Chain A
Protein backbone atom coordinates (compact mmCIF):
# COMPACT_ATOMS: atom_id res chain seq x y z
CA UNK A 1 0.00 0.00 0.00
CA UNK A 2 1.03 3.66 -0.08
CA UNK A 3 2.54 5.63 2.72
CA UNK A 4 1.03 4.87 6.11
CA UNK A 5 2.40 7.64 8.31
CA UNK A 6 0.55 10.50 6.52
CA UNK A 7 -2.66 8.48 6.76
CA UNK A 8 -2.14 8.00 10.49
CA UNK A 9 -1.62 11.75 10.84
CA UNK A 10 -4.87 12.52 9.01
CA UNK A 11 -6.62 9.93 11.15
CA UNK A 12 -5.45 11.59 14.34
CA UNK A 13 -6.56 14.99 13.08
CA UNK A 14 -9.95 14.10 11.64
CA UNK A 15 -11.19 11.02 13.41
CA UNK A 16 -13.52 12.66 15.89
CA UNK A 17 -17.20 13.61 15.80
CA UNK A 18 -17.48 13.77 12.00
CA UNK A 19 -15.22 11.06 10.54
CA UNK A 20 -14.47 7.35 10.60
CA UNK A 21 -11.45 5.88 8.80
CA UNK A 22 -11.01 2.28 7.61
CA UNK A 23 -8.42 0.46 5.58
CA UNK A 24 -9.93 -2.32 3.44
CA UNK A 25 -7.43 -5.16 3.10
CA UNK A 26 -7.46 -6.60 -0.43
CA UNK A 27 -5.45 -9.01 -2.63
CA UNK A 28 -1.67 -8.98 -2.36
CA UNK A 29 -0.66 -6.73 -5.26
CA UNK A 30 2.87 -8.13 -5.48
CA UNK A 31 2.85 -11.65 -4.01
CA UNK A 32 6.36 -12.99 -3.41
CA UNK A 33 8.40 -15.22 -1.06
CA UNK A 34 7.77 -13.26 2.13
CA UNK A 35 4.12 -12.42 1.53
CA UNK A 36 2.37 -14.76 -0.89
CA UNK A 37 -1.05 -14.68 -2.55
CA UNK A 38 -3.82 -15.51 -0.08
CA UNK A 39 -4.88 -19.16 -0.23
CA UNK A 40 -7.53 -18.93 2.51
CA UNK A 41 -9.50 -16.21 4.27
CA UNK A 42 -7.62 -17.00 7.49
CA UNK A 43 -4.34 -16.28 5.73
CA UNK A 44 -5.77 -12.98 4.46
CA UNK A 45 -6.77 -11.96 8.00
CA UNK A 46 -3.33 -12.96 9.25
CA UNK A 47 -1.64 -10.88 6.51
CA UNK A 48 -3.81 -7.90 7.46
CA UNK A 49 -2.82 -8.31 11.11
CA UNK A 50 0.89 -8.49 10.17
CA UNK A 51 0.50 -5.38 8.04
CA UNK A 52 -1.18 -3.54 10.89
CA UNK A 53 1.68 -4.33 13.26
CA UNK A 54 4.60 -3.90 10.83
CA UNK A 55 3.37 -0.61 9.43
CA UNK A 56 1.99 0.62 12.79
CA UNK A 57 -1.35 1.34 11.16
CA UNK A 58 -3.63 3.17 13.59
CA UNK A 59 -6.62 3.05 11.26
CA UNK A 60 -8.90 0.00 11.85
CA UNK A 61 -8.51 -2.60 9.11
CA UNK A 62 -11.51 -4.34 7.51
CA UNK A 63 -10.64 -7.58 5.71
CA UNK A 64 -12.45 -8.01 2.38
CA UNK A 65 -14.03 -11.37 1.55
CA UNK A 66 -11.73 -13.86 -0.15
CA UNK A 67 -12.55 -13.18 -3.82
CA UNK A 68 -12.49 -9.43 -3.27
CA UNK A 69 -16.17 -8.43 -3.82
CA UNK A 70 -15.78 -5.06 -2.08
CA UNK A 71 -12.48 -4.41 -3.84
CA UNK A 72 -14.15 -5.18 -7.18
CA UNK A 73 -17.28 -3.10 -6.48
CA UNK A 74 -15.10 -0.08 -5.70
CA UNK A 75 -12.80 -0.42 -8.70
CA UNK A 76 -10.15 -3.11 -8.18
CA UNK A 77 -7.13 -0.80 -8.03
CA UNK A 78 -4.45 -1.46 -5.40
CA UNK A 79 -4.36 1.82 -3.48
CA UNK A 80 -7.67 3.67 -3.85
CA UNK A 81 -9.22 6.18 -1.48
CA UNK A 82 -12.96 6.84 -1.17
CA UNK A 83 -14.62 9.39 1.08
CA UNK A 84 -18.31 8.77 1.71
CA UNK A 85 -20.49 11.51 3.16
CA UNK A 86 -23.14 11.23 5.85
CA UNK A 87 -25.83 10.64 3.21
CA UNK A 88 -23.95 7.54 2.04
CA UNK A 89 -22.90 9.25 -1.22
CA UNK A 90 -19.40 9.13 -2.67
CA UNK A 91 -17.89 12.58 -2.04
CA UNK A 92 -14.41 11.68 -3.34
CA UNK A 93 -12.77 8.76 -5.11
CA UNK A 94 -9.18 8.42 -6.22
CA UNK A 95 -7.20 5.69 -7.98
CA UNK A 96 -4.18 6.53 -5.85
CA UNK A 97 -3.79 7.84 -2.28
CA UNK A 98 -2.65 11.44 -2.38
CA UNK A 99 -2.62 12.69 1.21
CA UNK A 100 -2.57 16.39 0.35
CA UNK A 101 -5.72 15.90 -1.73
CA UNK A 102 -7.39 13.82 0.95
CA UNK A 103 -6.68 16.45 3.60
CA UNK A 104 -8.33 19.15 1.46
CA UNK A 105 -11.41 17.01 0.87
CA UNK A 106 -11.77 16.08 4.55
CA UNK A 107 -11.52 19.75 5.55
CA UNK A 108 -14.12 20.65 2.90
CA UNK A 109 -16.56 18.00 4.16
CA UNK A 110 -15.98 19.17 7.74
CA UNK A 111 -16.88 22.68 6.56
CA UNK A 112 -20.09 21.35 5.01
CA UNK A 113 -21.04 19.63 8.26
CA UNK A 114 -20.33 22.80 10.23
CA UNK A 115 -22.43 24.93 7.83
CA UNK A 116 -25.29 22.48 8.23
CA UNK A 117 -25.05 22.72 12.01
CA UNK A 118 -25.18 26.51 11.75
CA UNK A 119 -28.15 26.36 9.38
CA UNK A 120 -26.16 28.08 6.61
CA UNK A 121 -26.78 27.24 2.97
CA UNK A 122 -24.21 25.92 0.48
CA UNK A 123 -24.02 24.53 -3.05
CA UNK A 124 -21.92 21.67 -4.38
CA UNK A 125 -19.84 21.39 -7.55
CA UNK A 126 -18.42 18.36 -9.38
CA UNK A 127 -14.71 17.93 -10.25
CA UNK A 128 -12.67 15.38 -12.20
CA UNK A 129 -8.90 15.48 -12.48
CA UNK A 130 -5.73 13.67 -13.55
CA UNK A 131 -3.00 13.48 -10.89
CA UNK A 132 0.76 13.58 -11.59
CA UNK A 133 2.88 11.02 -9.68
CA UNK A 134 6.64 11.54 -10.26
CA UNK A 135 8.55 8.31 -10.95
CA UNK A 136 11.07 9.29 -8.28
CA UNK A 137 8.33 9.01 -5.67
CA UNK A 138 6.71 5.87 -7.11
CA UNK A 139 10.08 4.14 -7.43
CA UNK A 140 10.95 4.83 -3.81
CA UNK A 141 7.64 3.32 -2.64
CA UNK A 142 8.06 0.37 -5.00
CA UNK A 143 11.51 -0.41 -3.61
CA UNK A 144 10.23 -0.45 -0.02
CA UNK A 145 7.26 -2.67 -0.91
CA UNK A 146 9.12 -5.07 -3.24
CA UNK A 147 12.18 -5.51 -1.01
CA UNK A 148 9.87 -6.46 1.84
CA UNK A 149 7.70 -8.74 -0.33
CA UNK A 150 10.69 -10.64 -1.76
CA UNK A 151 12.86 -10.87 -4.88
CA UNK A 152 10.11 -12.60 -6.85
CA UNK A 153 8.17 -9.33 -6.93
CA UNK A 154 10.98 -7.70 -8.92
CA UNK A 155 11.20 -10.67 -11.33
CA UNK A 156 7.41 -10.76 -11.76
CA UNK A 157 7.35 -7.08 -12.63
CA UNK A 158 10.09 -7.59 -15.25
CA UNK A 159 8.04 -10.41 -16.79
CA UNK A 160 4.95 -8.21 -16.81
CA UNK A 161 6.75 -5.24 -18.43
CA UNK A 162 8.30 -7.53 -21.07
CA UNK A 163 4.92 -9.00 -21.96
CA UNK A 164 3.39 -5.52 -22.28
CA UNK A 165 6.08 -4.29 -24.67
CA UNK A 166 5.46 -7.14 -27.15
Chain B
Protein backbone atom coordinates (compact mmCIF):
# COMPACT_ATOMS: atom_id res chain seq x y z
CA UNK B 1 0.00 0.00 0.00
CA UNK B 2 1.49 3.32 -1.02
CA UNK B 3 1.93 6.19 1.39
CA UNK B 4 -0.06 9.23 0.25
CA UNK B 5 2.10 12.03 -1.14
CA UNK B 6 1.79 15.63 -0.12
CA UNK B 7 -0.76 17.22 -2.47
CA UNK B 8 0.13 20.64 -3.87
CA UNK B 9 -3.56 21.25 -4.47
CA UNK B 10 -4.17 21.40 -0.72
CA UNK B 11 -1.04 23.43 -0.04
CA UNK B 12 -1.62 26.33 2.31
CA UNK B 13 1.30 28.19 0.73
CA UNK B 14 -0.96 30.08 -1.65
CA UNK B 15 -0.09 33.28 -3.44
CA UNK B 16 -0.80 36.59 -1.75
CA UNK B 17 -4.61 36.84 -2.01
CA UNK B 18 -5.78 39.08 -4.82
CA UNK B 19 -2.58 38.82 -6.85
CA UNK B 20 -3.08 35.48 -8.61
CA UNK B 21 -6.51 36.34 -10.04
CA UNK B 22 -5.45 39.77 -11.26
CA UNK B 23 -7.81 42.14 -13.08
CA UNK B 24 -5.03 43.98 -14.91
CA UNK B 25 -2.47 42.18 -17.05
CA UNK B 26 0.28 44.53 -15.81
CA UNK B 27 -0.25 43.12 -12.27
CA UNK B 28 0.56 39.57 -13.38
CA UNK B 29 3.54 37.93 -11.64
CA UNK B 30 6.58 37.37 -13.85
CA UNK B 31 6.65 33.62 -14.44
CA UNK B 32 9.55 32.80 -16.79
CA UNK B 33 12.03 32.54 -13.91
CA UNK B 34 9.55 30.49 -11.85
CA UNK B 35 9.09 28.02 -14.69
CA UNK B 36 12.81 27.69 -15.46
CA UNK B 37 13.74 26.83 -11.88
CA UNK B 38 10.80 25.09 -10.22
CA UNK B 39 11.04 21.65 -11.83
CA UNK B 40 13.15 19.68 -14.30
CA UNK B 41 12.72 16.60 -16.45
CA UNK B 42 13.52 13.57 -14.30
CA UNK B 43 12.00 15.10 -11.16
CA UNK B 44 8.95 13.58 -9.44
CA UNK B 45 5.83 15.37 -10.72
CA UNK B 46 4.15 17.19 -7.81
CA UNK B 47 1.06 15.24 -6.85
CA UNK B 48 -2.35 16.90 -6.76
CA UNK B 49 -6.04 16.06 -6.54
CA UNK B 50 -8.48 18.23 -8.49
CA UNK B 51 -12.04 17.96 -9.74
CA UNK B 52 -13.04 17.89 -13.40
CA UNK B 53 -15.66 20.21 -14.89
CA UNK B 54 -18.02 17.24 -14.34
CA UNK B 55 -17.19 17.19 -10.62
CA UNK B 56 -15.18 13.96 -10.77
CA UNK B 57 -12.09 13.73 -8.47
CA UNK B 58 -8.78 12.92 -10.13
CA UNK B 59 -5.47 12.40 -8.36
CA UNK B 60 -2.32 12.47 -10.52
CA UNK B 61 -0.68 9.57 -8.65
CA UNK B 62 -3.63 7.26 -9.38
CA UNK B 63 -2.11 6.73 -12.84
CA UNK B 64 1.29 5.60 -11.56
CA UNK B 65 2.16 2.21 -12.98
CA UNK B 66 -0.70 2.43 -15.50
CA UNK B 67 -0.61 5.51 -17.73
CA UNK B 68 1.65 8.31 -18.91
CA UNK B 69 -0.16 11.60 -18.24
CA UNK B 70 -0.11 14.72 -20.41
CA UNK B 71 -1.00 17.95 -18.58
CA UNK B 72 -1.84 21.00 -20.65
CA UNK B 73 -2.33 24.27 -18.74
CA UNK B 74 -4.61 27.02 -20.01
CA UNK B 75 -7.70 29.23 -19.75
CA UNK B 76 -10.21 30.70 -22.16
CA UNK B 77 -8.36 34.05 -22.29
Write the residues of chain A forming the contact surface with B, with a CB cutoff of 8 angstroms.
Answer: 1-2, 7, 10, 14, 18-32, 35-39, 45, 47-52, 54-55, 59-93, 95, 97, 102, 106, 109, 113, 126-127, 145, 148-149, 153, 156-157, 159-160, 163
Chain B interface residue number, banded: 35 or more
Q: CB-CB < 8 A to A20: which residues of B?
A: 63, 67-70
Interchain CB contact under 8 A, A37 and B25:
no
Whether A22 contacts B70 by the Cβ 8 Å rule is: yes
**In chain B, residues 4-55, which have Cβ atoms closer than 8 Å to a Cβ of chain A?**
8-11, 13-15, 17, 20-26, 28-29, 31-32, 34-36, 38-48, 50-54
B1 within 8 A of A: no
Q: Could you tell me if B73 and A74 are in contact, using CB atoms closer than 8 angstroms? A: yes
A55, B76: Cβ atoms closer than 8 Å: yes
**Contact (A61, B52) CB under 8 Å given A37-B22, A90-B40, A92-B41:** yes
Some 8 contacts from A to B, beta carbons below 8 A apart, are A26-B75, A27-B21, A47-B75, A68-B20, A81-B73, A84-B45, A84-B71, A90-B42
